[in-house]
Amino acid sequence: MNESTYQAGAKIAGTVEDHFLKHIALAADNGEEDLAAVPSAKIIETMIDVAFWASLRKEEGNEPRISLAFLKPSQAGRPLMFEKKLPLSPKVLVKLAPGVERAGVYVGVWYEDGELYIWGTTIKLPNYCFVLDVSEPGLLVVKHRRIIGLGKFANVAVLKGDQVKLVDEASALLNDTPAMLGSLLGHNASALWNNSVNVLIQIAVSMRAHKHGGILLVTPYGTDTWKESIVHPLQYQVAPAFTGVSDLLRQDSNKVSEIYWQNALRREVDNITGLTAVDGATLINDRHELLAFGAKIMRASRSEPVEQVLWMEPVIGGHPSLIHPSSIGGTRHLSAAQFVHDQNDSIALVASQDGNFTIFSWSGQTQMVQAHRIDSLLL
């Protein structure tokens, strides 16, 4: 393995190795099986270096999107094996990328005699398998497959050019942490396919993916106090409430397969999150029933303007700070913060066109709105 030239990878490789060593050791102590091998810091550094330089190249005008997984073929179920091993290099990755860019396809990487090589592709990964995503030019995400929980892998680190963010799992232990954030950090993840928080995470991922920006307000089922914070008349109110997602959640898991449910959920989620691109806010209740979209948020008559929120990001070195909500991202964020300030039992998910994503929720401990920036967990 040659010396790397992308120094950000060298800086975090040891920390990332420690993360995988800790989690795999804990999983083994708990009797978990099908655990992945831990890549050494040098292997992590080399994979990041090769992936970074590959991300800056193009093949026939297209930017590569590729996911590398560190595992040997025997742990990959029924892998697609190449007759000859391919060297792990930027040139090879860029040439290979168009054929493996679909979500859920991983390029298998292993080593022999101190050299990393590509042996083929797989759609099956062992638990805690090291995965390195090339998301866009200069943007890499280190993640791993969860033992429990559906869909979203757990992110470990995000590298964008010379900027590096290491996910701080201890953030999940703070008071008043939203359930969605706790799940993304692995603290309260559920293995139930119809878990409400897992579904909300999929909604957030889909909402961020359309890149138009938007607001999703989640209100308690069976109440209409949210109407105090919305301009009337509503242009796009839904009556009766649309129950596409909630109907899926009520299905008996013994009567439908996980693959069927995941495909059906993806369609229903995209149906709802597409509406968040319409100017205004989209409203659902905590049973995921669609109530309205294109709604204009206003300050409730009984309330005062929100002046400060407690802003934080779940990364190592991130420190909570008091800021005006408009400084997070403009009027969209100010409106969402005002809504949660007035409707304490609701949460607001806000996607920016630049990819930033924020959860606004009410903190009973501090008696103020808190804003968690979570785009580093959704990549």
Q: How far apart are CA 258 and CA 318, in angstroms?
A: 37
pLDDT tens-digit series, residues 204-236: 999 999 989 999 999 999 999 999 999 999 989
Cis peptide before 240 (omega within 30 of 0): yes
Determine how many CB atoms are found less than 10 A away from the CB of residue 27: 17
**Strand, helix or coil at 153?**
coil
Look at 28-37, 77-86, 146-155 and tell me which has the smallest mean pLDDT.
Answer: 146-155
Cis peptide before 233 (omega within 30 of 0): yes
Give the H/E segment covering residue 200.
helix 196-209
pLDDT tens-digit series, residues 110-151: 999 889 999 999 999 999 999 999 999 999 999 998 776 455
pLDDT given at position 151: 55
Percent of the chain with pLDDT over 90: 67
Burial class (CB in 10 A: 0-12, 13-18, 19+), 101: middle
- DSSP code for 97: G
pLDDT given at position 148: 61
- pLDDT, the chain, mean: 90
Q: How far apart are CA 4 and CA 13, in angstroms?
A: 11
Alpha helices in 3-140 (DSSP H): 7-29, 41-55, 90-96
Within 13 Å and on the Cβ side, how many CA atoms surround 1?
Answer: 20
Mean local confidence (pLDDT), 283-290: 95
Q: How far apart are CA 202 and CA 219, in angstroms?
A: 18
Q: Edge-to-edge, what's the strand order for the sheet holding 347-351?
A: 236-242, 290-295, 281-285, 214-219, 347-351, 357-363, 368-373, 309-312, 321-323
pLDDT given at position 149: 46
pLDDT tens-digit series, residues 261-273: 778 888 999 999 9
pLDDT given at position 288: 94
> pLDDT band at 190, cuts 50/70/90?
low
> pLDDT band at 59, cuts 50/70/90?
confident
pLDDT tens-digit series, residues 302-339: 889 999 999 999 999 888 899 999 889 889 999 999 99
pLDDT given at position 1: 54
